[in-house]
Amino acid sequence: MKLASKHGSRFLAPEFVGSSIRWHFTLEVRPPSADGKHKGSTTIDGCIALADCDRTVKWQFYDPEPEEGLGKIDNAIAELQAARHALAQIVTEEAKARRKHKIPKSDND
């Protein structure tokens, strides 16, 4: 029996429809049997899918160690924040270089 379910999705860059994130997680419960043969169980199942054009990366999350899934997500968030910070620094350096060398932004930039 499905006890809980959460899901979401978002385009990461709306102007480029191919970039998206989708995720879902479910909690299923199997109650103990009346005859006592089964003690009952719970199962956590889920997936995070990052897509860009024709490429998709899927992270699967299953029992028995859901805490490991939380750590995987935390590590990914930390690394994405580090990548964002590095890109922001590079963008700032590019602007400085363009001003210093009087390079105009092209239509392709």
33-65 pLDDT, tens digit each: 999 888 998 888 999 999 988 899 998 888 666
**39 in the same domain as 8:** yes
Structural domains counted in the chain: 2
Residue 4 binned pLDDT confidence (cut-offs 50, 70, 90): very high
Flag whether 89 is in a domain.
yes
Residue 91's domain comprises 65-102
Flag whether 80 is in a domain.
yes
DSSP code, position 83: H
**53 in the same domain as 93:** no
C-alpha 41: how far from chain center: 28
**72 in the same domain as 47:** no
CB 7 within 8 A of CB 25: yes
What percent of the chain stands above pLDDT 70? 91
pLDDT of residue 89: 96
**34 in the same domain as 21:** yes
In the chain, the N- to C-terminal Cα span, in Å, equals: 52
Report d(CA 23, CA 25) in Å as an integer: 7
Flag whether 108 is in a domain.
no
pLDDT of residue 24: 96
